[in-house]
Chains A and B, each alone.
Chain A
Amino acid sequence: MLDNLSLLGQAPVLNIQLLLDGLFIGATFVLAAYGLALVWGVMNVKNLAQGDFVILGGYIAVTMAEWGLHPILGLPLVIVMMFGFGWLVYRAVISRVIDRDLFTSLLATFGLAIVMAQTMNLIFGPEVVAAESGLKTRSMFDGMVTVAEIKAISLLLAAVLATIVIIFMKKSRMGQAIRATAQDARAARVMGIDTDRVYAFTYALNSAICGAAGVLISLIWVIQPYFGITHSIRSFVIVTAAGFGNLPGVIMAGFGLGFAEQYSGFVLGAEFQQATVVALLVLILVVRQIQQARHRQVVR
């Protein structure tokens, strides 16, 4: 552990590698977390199946790549398919838990996560897979830092997608309706907004964003049917740290988590990478609680 730390000190170039990888992977975390923040803020549903939507998007891309369609060209198709899938899931499950207590939605989406992970395991098998981009890997600083071209492209794609979603939320009629519903669902209904349609659209949009994040992850990293829960927890870490409705916060926390994972994986060893995510979740909740405790008075 200390050896790895001193290695970082002696070869500062390695930091650049870690920071770059954190940036590339963090961008996909931001996408998934933004989807969660949207659903959480608008519908008050804690979607524990978030990570499984990501993995499903990745598998669709991998399957299309096997059929000869390049994943990047397949991205719009994945977005459309995942949008439809999200709409179906909303109609089948989410619409029935939306006005129930919070634990109901948490548990129902957890059941959904189990069903999705297991179905993917049956269809695609338990192997770890990745989509082939066919692009080169460039090396810098005498081979000390390597950057796969696809990683840079995926960062660019993530930025483009995020911009499209943000503009959509600001300018479009549906985006305005979603924001109105988030502010006050009852008032929105009085104003003639079909909130049920808004909810369905929001959930489907979240599913599409997750699917896009999954395509990028399958290109720059690996996917496996059971990796979903870790992605869900990452999204929860980011949203809990940032607070929903705080877009700059989500972006900062997403990249921060990317860096934290890369550094802990390098310094402590690869087996600590998962532990870092959950430990950060607990830590953030503790900090939140201390902040809240200041606002609350208790019987002594």
Chain B
Amino acid sequence: MSTAMTQGLLYGGIVLAGIVAPFAFPEYTFQFALLWIMILFALTWDILGGQMGYNSLGNIFFFGAGMYLCAVTQIGLYYDVAEYTAAFGAVKVDFTMGQYMLGLGLGMVAAALGSVVLALFFGRIVFGLRGPYFAIGTLGVALAAGELMGTWEYVGGGGGISLPVYPGDPDDRALLYYILCFVAAILTFAFLRWLYGTRFGLALNAIRDDEEKAEAMGIHTTRYKTVAWGVAAFFLGISGAVFGNMTGFIEPLEVAFPTTTFGIFMVLMVLLGGKGTLWGPVIGATLFHVIKEVTWTYLLGWQWITLGALIIVNVIYFQQGIMGWARDKWPERFGVVVDRRTTISSRDEEAAS
């Protein structure tokens, strides 16, 4: 079987599984939707963390920003935002289906574009920082955003916002948000698959390998870094918009800017799967999501300790991740040419022949 056919079968199988899953197991629709969000998180984190070598701890900032931008757009289209948030969900605005869908659509566009603008703005601030300073600086941006949103009364402050209620059947609602998560994740994967094959992807890898030399070779590193962050922000903004509507209620510290949960999960998922690869984040996210759900169900109370221990063990003993390990094991399958003349075993073969 040719590689193209294998790949076609693989992609077809995944898309088919994604379409069948909510119908086969309707009670797990929310879990499946969350899995796609997790895959999207891991893929977008890997743009900077894996391909470009900039380990951000604050990418969750765009998730929360997208969530708030979408909510404000959705409500602001038909109602006064300050009045709506001041009532803490007591005001019930009945949206017709058309209004709801228009609000959601425009909200997602606003979330995606707004996040890109924020990425371009904050990129100017954080991309002068290197190494651990970059990680701490981005962590600071995300934490500060959460704290400051909690004090901003216009968007509900610490009390949060209840989002418009879906004007239809709850099962349809679950399916709608599943489809949105699914499509967002697939689009992210397809876009990144194309992106890593272009000159842009090579420039990102050059920055990871040696930023000074890349600069010397004439690559405008700051521009590439900012655009890469913008790409991550675009998809994260969409995921935030969808996730906020899926849960129906947003609040700054736990839902919108969960720096110590989702923000760290992104990093962990990529490290687990293998950073700097296309499939690593997908595998890592799937595995992590399963581990997380199992520990949350059977080890309740200990789940965070398990998670912290997993981070430590992963970072110390298994930093190359699953894909990295596989690449060491079977280099030929990853297109790495091994010069067999230098290995001892091949010399033995030559002697025997």
A residues bordering B, Cβ < 8 Å?
Answer: 46, 93, 96-97, 100, 102-104, 106-108, 110-119, 122, 229, 233, 236, 240, 269, 271-272, 274-275, 278-279, 281-282, 285-286, 288-290, 292-293, 298-299
Contacts and interface: CB of A to CB of B under 8 A. Distances in A.
Determine chain A's interface SS by DSSP, over half rule: helix
B154 to A, nearest CB: 15
Contact of B315 (A107, A233, A286, A292): A107
A115 B305 contact: yes
Interface string B218-231: 11111000000000
Given A46-B136, A236-B136, A274 B308 contact: no
Interface in B107-154: 125-126, 128-129, 131-133, 135-137, 140-141, 143-144, 147-148, 150-151
Given A233-B143, A278-B144, A278-B147, A103 B312 contact: no
Contacts of B316: 93, 96-97, 104, 108
Nearest to B312: A111
B267 interface: yes
Contacts of A103: 55, 131-132, 135
A285 to B, nearest CB: 4
A106 B57 CA distance: 10
A103 B316 CA distance: 11
A109 to B, nearest CB: 9
Nearest to B54: A103
Contacts of A116: 308
Given A103-B135, A122-B301, A111 B222 contact: no
A116 B304 CA distance: 10
Interface residues of B, number: 44
B319 interface: yes
Contact of B311 (A114, A236, A290): A114
Given A275-B151, A289-B125, A299-B220, A107 B311 contact: yes
Q: Which of B125, B132, B150, B309 has the most CB of A within 10 A?
A: B132
A157 B312 CA distance: 35
Given A46-B136, A106-B136, 18 more contacts: A100-B319, A102-B131, A103-B55, A106-B55, A107-B271, A111-B308, A112-B308, A114-B305, A233-B140, A233-B143, A240-B133, A271-B158, A272-B147, A275-B147, A278-B147, A282-B125, A286-B125, A290-B128
The 7 closest A-B pairs by CB, nearest first: A111-B311, A114-B308, A115-B308, A275-B147, A289-B128, A118-B304, A111-B312
A290 B124 CA distance: 11
B215 interface: yes
Given A114-B311, A272-B151, A107 B136 contact: no
A118 B144 contact: no
Contacts of A282: 125, 137, 140-141, 144
Contacts of A278: 140, 143-144, 147
A236 B315 CA distance: 22
Nearest to B142: A278
B179 interface: no
Nearest to A237: B140
B308 A118 contact: yes
Nearest to B136: A236
B140 A275 contact: no
A188 to B, nearest CB: 23
A110 B316 CA distance: 12
Contacts of A289: 125, 128-129
B147 A274 contact: yes
A284 B112 CA distance: 29
Nearest to A281: B140
Contacts of B311: 107-108, 110-111, 114
A271 B264 contact: no
Nearest to B319: A104
A155 to B, nearest CB: 28
A196 B271 CA distance: 28
Contacts of B129: 285, 288-289
A224 B77 CA distance: 42
